[in-house]
Amino acid sequence: MSIDTPPSRTGVPTGTEPPPAEPADSNLVGPDGPGVREAVKTLRANADFRRMWIGQAISELGSSISVLAFPLLALAITGSSVDAGLIATVGFLASLLGQIPAGHLADTMDKRRLLIASDLVRAGCLFAVTAMVLTGWYRNEAMMGLTALNSVAYALTGPSQISALRTVVSDRELAEASALMQGRAYVIQLGAPTIGGLLFAAGRALPFVTDGASFLLSARFTARIEASLAPARGTDRRRFAISFARGWTTLWDTRVLRWLTLFGTSTNLTVSVLMYSVLLGNGASPQAARSLGITLTVAGIAGLLGSVAGPLVQRRLDLHQVLIASCLVRTLAVVPAVLVDGLLTKSLAMIVVVFTSPIARAAVSTAQMMVVPREILGSVSGATGLLATCAQPLAPLLAGALLQLTTASVTFTALGVAFALMAVGVSLPPSLRIRAAG
């Protein structure tokens, strides 16, 4: 549930040096170029972008169908929200470990092969879970192991997907391409979670086998991308330490990246706690699964609307205004859940948060792609992604513990305070007072 990591460079250095610190009035979020409609039209004619979009859409469709199944399966079998949260926490920790070499691999390996291999590994994990459910042989240790392997494979693809997008899309359409990639996920959420809840109620293995098949199809579309996704000539594939250090050095030397990564870390943790509080706070009965599926479908509509609004907002507001507004809206959204404990008020908070997420994410991811030289984008993306998600493994356990030890009102009060503090924090750095061109 990464909010501020994925998702042009006008005047950005193309050599090996880290980009310099940006002045407060830098024009970084969104390149000069055509309007939104013209950019989208150009992207629709881009065959490689279509293949990438469709392949990842199929993968996300399967994952959205199974998103409810993982915590609900553990909750149904163990009866403990803490155990369910522990499995998710293992997945987050494995994802963090996978991000350490992910950036280096994106810069030094053929990204097509890396993405295909990841899809095949994840398909194997999902089919193994399917077999475990069908045979009745369920072990928490085995579920944790499969979750960890699946998460590592997923983490390895993050920087590669960003670098691949940067290769197949021109500078002039980066903001719109990022918005379309995000909007795809929310279109899928319009129906996939409801389908997932119904499938889980009908048979616990069905969401997992569907997700596994989706990875096989995703690998097929990735294989058909015609653009070269190989590393640049002369790339030293052996010097992992240098590549890894270079990504972190660039992150530290670039003021905007430092602040955005700090914002992403706090946002990802808080939003993930909110999401798991909703998922785990209503039980694992078939009725609860169906209700949660409907909630996520409505949230998908909100996210789609947010994705549509993202590029327009980027061209009218400063980056810091976008981030402050998103935090304040989230703060207000949790107030009903504080006052009234019920699925409706919790769902309202989730829906509003999902609406604001693609708007903030579009501005953040476009800024990152623009300020980082293309040849080290993978390494820098790996570094920012690792930091932005480093606290996320705590989210499932924190949500489960809060729900078990306190009340829903206390949980959502803490979330509201966290969002309000983030609004104050993001208003401080002048380096974020930048606006998209257009």
- 295-318 tens-digit pLDDT: 777 887 888 888 888 777 877 777
Question: CA-to-CA distance for 199 and 214, rounded, in angstroms?
Answer: 15
Q: pLDDT tens-digit profile of 236-250?
A: 555 666 777 777 888
Buried residues in 46-67 as b, exposed as e (16+ CB within 10 A): bebbbbbbbbbbbbbbbbbbbb
Number of CB atoms found within 10 A of residue 210's CB: 21
The pLDDT value given to residue 330? 93
Residue 412 has pLDDT above 70, yes or no: yes
Q: Cα separations (Å) of 171 from 102, 117, 393?
A: 24, 28, 34
The pLDDT value given to residue 429? 67
The alpha carbon of residue 196 and the mean position of all alpha carbons in its chain are separated, in whole angstroms, by 20
Percent of the chain topping pLDDT 70: 82
Average pLDDT over residues 355-365: 83
Average pLDDT over residues 387-399: 79
Query: Among residues 271, 265, 267, which one has the least CA distance to residue 399?
Result: 271
Residues sharing a CB contact under 8 Å with residue 142, sequence separation 6 or more, in sequence order: 132
Buried residues in 365-389 as b, exposed as e (16+ CB within 10 A): bbbbbbbbbbebbbbbbbbbbbbbb
Mean residue pLDDT of the chain comes to 77
The pLDDT value given to residue 359? 85
Report the DSSP beta bridge partners of residue 435. Answer: 318
Q: Which three-class secondary structure state does DSSP give residue 377?
A: helix
The pLDDT-based confidence of 289 (bands split at 50, 70, 90) is low
What is the pTM assigned to this prediction? 0.63
The pLDDT value given to residue 239? 67
Residue 438 has pLDDT above 50, yes or no: no
Residue 80 has pLDDT above 60, yes or no: yes
One-letter amino acid at 268 equals N
Question: CA-to-CA distance for 273 and 88, rounded, in angstroms?
Answer: 12
Percent of the chain topping pLDDT 90: 9
Are the beta carbons of 273 and 399 closer than 8 angstroms?
Answer: yes
Are the beta carbons of 114 and 102 closer than 8 angstroms?
Answer: no
Burial-class residue 141 by CB neighbours within 10 Å (0-12, 13-18, 19+): exposed
Q: Cα separations (Å) of 153 from 95, 280, 419?
A: 8, 25, 31
Q: pLDDT tens-digit profile of 119-172?
A: 999 999 999 989 988 888 888 788 888 888 988 888 888 788 878 887 888 777
Average pLDDT over residues 353-380: 79
Class of CATH domain 36-227+239-432: mainly alpha
One-letter amino acid at 298 equals V
What are the sequence ranges of the domains in the chain?
A: 36-227+239-432
Number of CB atoms found within 10 A of residue 336's CB: 16
HSE-CB at 132 with a 13 A cutoff on CA atoms is 21
Residue 235 has pLDDT above 50, yes or no: yes
Average pLDDT over residues 319-345: 88
